[in-house]
Structure 1
Amino acid sequence: MTDRNETVRLVIYSALAATGRLPTAAEVADETELTASDVEDAIEELARMRHLVFDREHRIVLAHPFATRNFSFSVMGERTMWWGGCAWDAFAIPNLVPDEPSALVATTCPACGTAHSWTVTRDGPPSGTQVAHFLTPMAEVWDDVIHTCENQRIFCDETCVRRWLQQTGNEPGAVFDLATLWQLASQWYAGRLETPYRRREPDEAHEYFATVGLVGAFWGNAP
């Protein structure tokens, strides 16, 4: 990544971490002393390198683990509120942001609408009998990353997972408990608010998944 792209990336991520709000291109230009054209070019490159995600209207909707719209997870700290891009991202935010020792992660079960919330900290997983269900195998995540994130959800239990699969006609994905979700999320984005930051290569991602007990074909060949 060029110094320009990394500079823009860090300003965007730092603003989202501190305020929960995506900075405008003009604000990024002011902060970096880059031209508007350079900022726009850097944002395009960051999207190409999968640091940012555009929606169909070419608006930034994801800068993992932060989202700029509702993906069904709110994350409330003492001073800041964020949208989490998915179950994984929502549990990652309290482990990443430096100034919030804990955050309240809230969502609803996709099958029955029951509301759930947990106080998530860096100290260990929250208690709870709910389960996470990830629909899309890791090798296919970036085929449609917005669809992937919209379908990394938390359910009341496996009965609700099965009910939702019947309702939607989807095939089962991966189901695991909150402790595993927290372990997956806790260090996945380590260093993202520092510079330089390097995304994991597929082999590194596969090794990371294995350290938290997530193995098998679903977790293989992560892009």
Structure 2
Amino acid sequence: MGDLSEELRVAVYRGFARSGRAPGVEELAGRFDTASEEIRRGLRELAGQRHLVLDDGDRVVMAHPFASIPLGFAVMGRSTLWWGGCAWDSFALPHLVTDEPDVLVSTRCPGCDRPHAWVVGRDAPPEGGQVAHFLVPVARMWDDVVHTCGHQRLFCGEACVDAWLESTGNERGYVMDLATLWRFARGWYAGRLDHGYVRREPAAAAAYFREVGLSGAFWGL
């Protein structure tokens, strides 16, 4: 499955980047002129390697930073709409879809329901006093990745984070400002649309986090 698996990975990612949606099993089977079950095995292999998140029907739910389900963020280019999987992924999208000069990221504050939107580009972070709250530390993100992504949100500020934590009974996670979020998201997914992409091992990931100014608490230390 090695060669086909990599071709499938690139096809899914580039399909998301181009159209905002993931190609389905039958579409991929037609493209690669192979049986649907072979496609399913390839997708499951990619899911096992944490390149994709699948539902019970082998449909692609996530191919970070892309998502096929709404998780709190919409990301709009000139003619394409993407679901942002989380605050991290939404700010990462303009660094992958480089045909777009920038994108419009929109969401609502979970603490007070106030709408927010930012033009996010590749040259500098957007301005604003909002903060991102990451409920789940990186070391536990894949325990339930959909839950994790659904709880990486942007709030009006610290007061709204505190109000949301009190109302939900959750414990405080990691909080960062917009500039840190942008620096963090900027290079994390570099090369993911290309053949031969390799996921970072934990040591390399931790080094990247330190480089962009995130403490060990983000990793879960």
How big is the shift at 1:29? 1.8
Mapping of residues 5-24 of structure 1, within 5 Å: 5-24=5-24
Stretches of structure 2 lacking an aligned partner (at least 5 in a row): none
Q: Is the 8 A contact 2:71 2:86 kept in 1?
A: yes
Post-superposition shift, 1:56?
5.6
Q: CA deviation at 1:35?
A: 2.5
Structure-1 residue corresponding to 2:193: 193
Report the CA distance between 1:39 and its aligned residue: 0.9
1:75–1:81 Cα contact (<8 Å) kept: yes
The residue type equivalent to 1:17 in the other structure is A
For residues 32 and 17 of structure 1, the distance between their equivalents in structure 2, rounded to whole angstroms, comes to 19
Aligned-pair distance for 1:58? 5.1
Q: 1:135 aligns to what? A: 135
CA distance, structure 2, for counterparts of residue 209 and residue 154 of structure 1: 19
Counterpart of 2:198 in 1: which secondary structure?
Answer: coil
Equivalent residue of 2:190, what SS? coil
Structure 1 segment 176-191 matched on structure 2, within 5 A: 176-191=176-191
After TM superposition, list the pairs within 5 Å mapping 1:26-175 onto structure 2.
26-55=26-55, 59-175=59-175
SS at match of 1:98: coil
Does the Cα contact within 8 Å between 1:206 and 1:220 map onto a contact in 2? no
How far did residue 57 of structure 1 move?
6.0
> CA RMSD for the aligned pairs?
1.4
Matching residue of 2:205: 205
Alpha-carbon distance in 2 for matches of 1:112, 1:57: 36
- Which 4+ residue blocks in structure 1 deviate beyond 6 angstroms? none
Does the 8 A contact of 1:11 with 1:31 survive in 2? no
User: Cα distance, 1:61 vs. partner?
Assistant: 1.2
> Which amino acid is 1:126 matched to?
P
TM normalised by structure 1 equals 0.95
**8 A Cα contact 1:60 1:68, kept in partner:** yes
Whole-angstrom CA distance in 2 between matches of 1:104 and 1:30? 34
Q: How far does the alpha carbon of each residue in 1:2-37 deviate from its partner, in whole angstroms, 9 at most, with x for none?
A: 111000010011010000011121211222233322
Quick check: 2:74–2:82 contact (8 Å CA) kept in 1?
Answer: yes
Q: Say whether the 8 Å CA contact 2:25–2:59 is kept in structure 1.
A: no
C-alpha contact (below 8 Å) 1:61/1:67 kept by paired residues = yes
- Alpha-carbon shift at residue 210 of structure 1 (Å): 0.5
1:187 is paired with a residue whose SS is helix
Q: Is the 8 A contact 1:137 1:173 kept in 2?
A: yes
Alpha-carbon shift at residue 218 of structure 1 (Å): 3.1
Structure 1 letter corresponding to 2:169? G
Which shows bigger deviation, 26-35 or 133-142? Answer: 26-35
